[in-house]
Structures are given as structure tokens and as C-alpha cells.
Amino acid sequence: MKKTKILLIGACGQIGSELTGALRTKYGRDQVVAADIRERTKVSGEMHPYVKLDVLNKSALLMLCGEEGFTQIYLLAAMLSANGEKEPAVAWQLNMDGLLNVLDVAVKCGMQKVFWPSSIAVFGPNAPKLLSPQANASTPSTVYGISKAAGEYWCQYYFDKFGLDVRSLRYPGLISYKSPPGGGTTDYAVDIFIKHLAKGITFVF
Ligand SMILES: NC(=O)c1ccc[n+]([C@@H]2O[C@H](COP(=O)([O-])OP(=O)(O)OC[C@H]3O[C@@H](n4cnc5c(N)ncnc54)[C@H](O)[C@@H]3O)[C@@H](O)[C@H]2O)c1
């Protein structure tokens, strides 16, 4: 089996900025390439090896994967729920076309695994509040939630059709003290930590 080499797309965001370091600790710095739409010069040194990549540019993604021989892709680039409601068409394009590009390229390049987070946004307001079952009829009420529900079906489709190993979890709202909020429903909670840290106030748990 080929040595694990990872492309992490959306590496500069809330989850990516921590996951990149964690994966590098596990697999080695050079085995994990961080990618994001941000300019290389605007990214901190600890993010390197880094490549500027727009996940919507499928030919660039395909070329990069062919050249670098990645065995896994983590796709974190997405427009989150609150921002998605401001620009529904843009959110749909990024969340859907970005995922489809990655799934397609992963099949073409014979990737071992794709990781793509889903969200509790797949559950709409009518979902049971306690012990909501995994296969509950999903009635998302935001463009973001609809894109995650559709994305889950696409991942299942690529597994059934092409045998692509896609792993996904439905994350709840995640709170990071390191990066600013990314435009989701948990922004308020994240903002509390960021503002307090900016004022030099520390938290004791
Ligand atoms: N943060 C949460 O609470 C939460 C909860 C559930 C699921 N998720 C999912 O986890 C993933 C990551 O979330 P996050 O909070 O880190 O998001 P974030 O908004 O903080 O980060 C997304 C990153 O993607 C990059 N990006 C945007 N467009 C791009 C493009 N066209 N090409 C390449 N990169 C691009 C952005 O520059 C940003 O760095 C998303 O799929 C999100 O839906 C997050």
C-alpha cells in the first residue's frame, strides 16, 4: 500500500487550521499538504507545505493530485449556514461542485480515502430533539443543510458506484479558540472566546 499523503482543502479555516497540525503530527509534515483559496503570501509559515487552490477549479485539482500522488483528501472548503443564507446560489455552487470535483478526482486518481464533514444542519426544525435517529427523514431548512444532505447521498453514490471510501460525520457546532468564526450558527459562541482572549482574559475549565 502507498504511503499516506494527504491534501487538506480549506486548511485555513476553523477546523483546518487545527486539523492540519494534528495530521502532520501523525503522518509527518511533508505528507500533509495544506490547500486553500487564500494567497500563499497571506498564509502563516506553519501552514507550509501550502498550495493555493480553488476547489472549484477541477483541472487544477486533478493536475495537483496527479503530480503529488495524494492518497487521501480532506475537503473542508464550504460556505457555512449563516453566510449561505446571504448568498444561497454561491453556497450551493461551492458546497456541491466542490464536493463533486473532489469525489471525481479521487476516483480518477485512485485515492484510498476521502473525508468530508457533514452537519447536524441536515436535520430541520421538525427532527426529534432527543436521540434523533441517523436515518431520520431529513428536512433541512437552510441551503447549507440541503447541500449537506445532498452531499451525503453523493458520497454514498460514489461508494456504491465506484467503491470510493468516503468518511463523514455530522458535526454539531464546533467551538475553536484559535480561529475566528466562519459564518455558521455557532459564531456567537466562538466570538465569546475570541473577544475574551483579545482582552487577555483567560478561561479555566
Ligand atoms: N465549524 C463548524 O461548527 C462545523 C459544523 C459542522 C460541519 N462543519 C463543516 O466542516 C467543514 C469546515 O468548516 P470550518 O468551520 O472549518 O469552515 P471555515 O469557513 O472556517 O473554513 C473554510 C475554509 O475553506 C476555504 N475556502 C472557501 N472557498 C474555497 C475554495 N473555493 N477553494 C478552496 N478553499 C476554499 C476558506 O478560505 C476557509 O479557509 C465544512 O464543510 C463545514 O460545513 C463545520
Q: What is the pLDDT of residue 60?
A: 98
SS3 33: strand
Evaluate if residue 128 carries a pLDDT over 90: no
Residue 68 resides in a domain: yes
Question: What pLDDT score was predicted for residue 114?
Answer: 98
Residue span of the structural domain in which 17 resides: 6-198
Q: Record the pTM.
A: 0.94
By percentage, how much of the chain surpasses pLDDT 70? 99
The percent of residues in the chain predicted with pLDDT above 90, rounded, is 73
Residue 23 counted as domain residue? yes
Nearest CA to ligand 1 atom 14: 14
| Closest-lying ligand 1 atom to the alpha carbon of residue 55 | 32
pLDDT in tens, 35-65: 999 999 999 998 999 999 999 999 999 999 9
CA-to-CA dists, residue 65 to 40, 106, 181, 195, angstroms: 18, 8, 30, 39
**CATH code, 183:** 3.40.50.720
What is the structure's pLDDT at 101?
Answer: 98
| Local structure of 71: helix, strand or coil | coil
The total number of structural domains that make up the chain? 1
The pLDDT, as a whole number, for residue 136 is 67
Q: Is residue 203 part of a domain?
A: no
- Mean pLDDT (whole number) for 64-68: 96
- Give start and end residues of each alpha helix (H) in 87-184: 88-92, 98-108, 143-162
Would you say the CB of residue 140 lies under 6 angstroms from ligand 1?
no
Active site residues: 144
